[in-house]
Amino acid sequence: MELASRDVISRAEQTEIDEGRGVDGNVLLDLRHLGAEKILDRLHGTRELSMVFAGVDPIREPIPVRPGAHYHMGGVDTDVWGKTNVEGLYAAGECACVSVHGANRLGGNALMETITYGKRAGRHAAEWALANTTIEIPESTEQDAERDLKALLDRSDGERPWRIRDELARTMHENFGVFRREDQMERQGEIVAGLRERYQQIVVEDKGQLFNSDLTQALELEFLLELAECMVVCGIARKESRGAHARPQDYPDRDDANYMKHTMVSWENGEPRLDWKPVTVTKWQPQERTY
């Protein structure tokens, strides 16, 4: 079980916590059987994190753990060279989705994105940059962005963004976390819409031009809200359980006949537009996952 994939572990942990067998909202991860030597040798980073953040030395005590958002299987759609559908724009790493991981990325596979696709995207982007000089951006796009930015900075009264951000985080964890239920996802859609409404009246306190992270964090919050809405729409539409998308109550099984396809979503006219892309199966045939 300990070496199963992350979604399996997350469900196991969350079930224990939900059914009242947790300890202060956690389950305990016991590494003591590995011995001090091996922990110091191989799990140095894990030990450091445990000691700093939980005040627990895994050589002597079990580590309190619980599911958290570690990685998002989706991202900016790219080809195997990191190219997006915007001319000259490349994506690699956690923000990108080359679609090699499917519905759940296995532990240790971050290297494929950083090393392999990072190198490919970097090389391709450099070649593109050497071969091209400028790309035309419609004047209206630039004007719209400047207008929005000015409106945000000119507002002197309103809600500070942090409460919206914290509420988004808490409710996404509750309603769109390890287990997903139709009614909770529907509810989360309404919550996100309400938060987006509130976002229209936020106030940025830092009006300066210098390292204005108050402004960048506010802009990021808008993206978070839009992404959350996209995720909810996609989650409701996928009526099956696959990888980290688990719907044990209404659609507990994987449904290859209807859903072995990529979920594509784009932001159009202020709302998500859902689309699908077929999966190309070559050498490796999909199989049921067993442990």
Partner 1 sequence: MTEAALNVEARTMRVPIKIWRYDSATGERALKEYVVDAPEWVTLLDVLDIIKDQQDGSLSYRKSCRMMICGSCGMRMDGAAVLACKTRMYDIVQSGHVPVISAMGNLPIVKDLVVDMQPFWDKFHAVKPWLQPGYEEPPDGKEYIVSQERMNPIHKESLCINCGCCVSECNAMESDPEFLGPQALAKAFRFVGDPRDQSDVDRLEDLNSEHGIWECTRCYFCTERCPKGVDPRDSIAKLGAESVKEGIDRDLGAKHAKWFVTSAKTTGWLRETELVPKTQGIVSAIKETRFAMTLALKGKVPPPVPPHVAQDVEESRKLYDLVHEQGRDGAAGIVQGERGIARMEYLHETSGEEPPDADG
Please report how close the Cβ of residue 278 comes to partner 1 at its closest, in angstroms. Answer: 29
3-state secondary structure of 193: helix
Q: Interface residues for partner 1 in 138-157 (CB under 8 A)?
A: none
Stretch binding partner 1 (CB under 8 A), from 31-39, 91-99, 134-142, 233-241: 31-39
Cβ proximity to partner 1, 123 vs 170, nearer residue: 170
Binding of partner 1 by 111 (CB under 8 A): no
Q: Interface residues for partner 1 in 219-248 (CB under 8 A)?
A: none
Binding of partner 1 by 123 (CB under 8 A): no
Query: From the list 27, 59, 98, 195, which residue makes contact with partner 1 (rule: CB under 8 A)?
Result: 59
Cα 227 to Cα 218: distance, rounded to the nearest angstrom: 14
Which pair of structure tokens corresponds to residue 134?
A: 């400028």
CB atoms within 10 A of CB 35: 11
Binding of partner 1 by 166 (CB under 8 A): yes
Binding to partner 1 by CB under 8 A, coded x per residue (else -) over 167-196, reads x-xx--x-----------------------
Binding of partner 1 by 44 (CB under 8 A): yes
The beta-carbon contacts of 106-114 under 8 Å, at least 24 apart in sequence, are 106/5, 106/6, 107/5, 107/6, 110/71
Stretch binding partner 1 (CB under 8 A), from 8-16, 49-57, 186-194, 223-231: 49-57
Cα 120 to Cα 67: distance, rounded to the nearest angstrom: 32
Binding of partner 1 by 70 (CB under 8 A): no
Q: Which of 6, 196, 198, 254 is catalytic?
A: 6
* H or E segment and range at residue 157: none
6 is annotated as an active-site residue = yes
Give the amino acid at 11.
R
Q: Which among 235, 223, 222 has a CA at the least distance from the CA of 189?
A: 235
Sign of the C-alpha dihedral, residues 204, 208, 209, 213?
A: negative
Cβ proximity to partner 1, 82 vs 161, nearer residue: 161
Contact 62, 24 (CB under 8 A): no
Contact 229, 196 (CB under 8 A): yes
Please report how close the Cβ of residue 214 comes to partner 1 at its closest, in angstroms. Answer: 4
Query: From the list 122, 194, 208, 286, which residue makes contact with partner 1 (rule: CB under 8 A)?
Result: 208
Cα 252 to Cα 241: distance, rounded to the nearest angstrom: 5
Cα 254 to Cα 245: distance, rounded to the nearest angstrom: 10
Q: List, by residue number, the catalytic residues.
A: 6
Contact set with partner 1 (CB under 8 A): 24-25, 32-38, 40-41, 44, 48-49, 52-53, 57, 59-60, 68-69, 160-162, 166-167, 169-170, 173, 204-206, 208-214
